[in-house]
A and B are shown apart, each in its own frame.
Chain A
């Protein structure tokens, strides 16, 4: 199952990146490519909408860490995760990356204040 990634601009100008499928060793490059495009073309405030992500592995998580480093390296850059499912939350907690990634129940909540 390939990872499809859609990108859209929210009303407040923040970019919402929405992957669908498994964010794993096979799917991670698609998210990396999408984030690279956004960072190249837009202000680096991004919400990753995880509602369509059924599963994440350590390589998929690595692609999110890569995005975080890239975005926080830009002035005013910020990255938030929205709507992770139970499996994604388990992985974030297990790796203690939940302390690094603020995650929100919905995209709307994640967009608030960005």
Chain B
């Protein structure tokens, strides 16, 4: 392993939409600063955009009324591979995963299609009553 092998890890739990989105974006900024990447680093911009989409979905649909369990979030860089993991207690979302990019005049329905095309891998699994998301990009 070369001497420039960089690692970074960030963990958080959150419950509210604004708070959660702030934490997701802050984690990317901390990664940027820790690894000396520029503000306009394209790979990181693409990853942050995908993270905003999945994170926004998780925070709006992943906390049904009466469910107190927070969203769990981990961001990990190992060498050139950046992985974000999110888990939520929402309904299963299998049927949304294969959505294509909608027509120009549609106001909604782009999030998952965007995230898929921005990442090297977008993983989803239903684990008991949890949704588990895995976002992977090689920087």
> Digit string of B42-78 for contact with A (CB within 8 Å is 1, else 0)?
1001101100110010011000000000000000000
8 Å CB interface, A83-114 against B: 86-87, 90-91, 94-97, 99-100
Measured as residues with beta carbon below 8 angstroms from the partner, the interface class of chain B is 20 to 34
> Digit string of B100-132 for contact with A (CB within 8 Å is 1, else 0)?
010011111111001001100000000000000
A95 to B42, CA, bound (A): 17
Q: A96 to chain B: closest CB distance in Å?
A: 7
A40 to B46, CA, bound (A): 36
Q: A94 to chain B: closest CB distance in Å?
A: 6
User: Which secondary structure dominates where chain A touches chain B?
Assistant: helix
User: Which secondary structure dominates where chain B touches chain A?
Assistant: helix
Interface residues on chain A, number (Cβ under 8 Å): 26
Give me the interface of B with A, judged by CB distance under 8 Å: 17-18, 21-22, 25, 40, 42, 45-46, 48-49, 52-53, 56, 59-60, 101, 104-111, 114, 117-118
17 contacts between A and B (CB under 8 A): A1-B21, A22-B21, A24-B52, A26-B21, A26-B56, A57-B52, A58-B111, A58-B114, A59-B108, A62-B110, A65-B105, A66-B107, A87-B45, A90-B46, A91-B114, A94-B117, A97-B104
